[in-house]
Amino acid sequence: TEHGQVKESHYGLNHMSADDPAWIDTVREFRASVEAHARMEEDQVFPRLRGEIDEELDARITKEVKKAEFMMS
């Protein structure tokens, strides 16, 4: 899956020296992959979900996302 590829790329970058000649190309590929995935979600997934969820579910999802963001900071 795309998320799995992002995790693998992230892992690889974390274990690659910034002095490695392939590092900058790997960063560029990682960034392009993440940006493409985010655009796809914003253009396709999120609009469909907005039409399918009610306000109560939206509030629960928002709460969980904010909690996750706090845990990551």
CA gap 32, 35 in Å, rounded? 5
Residues 6+ apart with CB under 8 A from 27: 13
Give the pTM. 0.62
Residues 16, 22: contact at Cβ < 8 Å? Answer: yes
Any idea what the Cα angle at residue 56 is, between residues 52 and 58, rounded to 5°?
Answer: 55
Interval 60-73 mean pLDDT: 90
Which tokens in the block code for residue 11? Answer: 């892992």
Angle 23-28-41 from CA coordinates, rounded to 5°? 135
Q: Is the pLDDT score of 50 beyond 90?
A: no
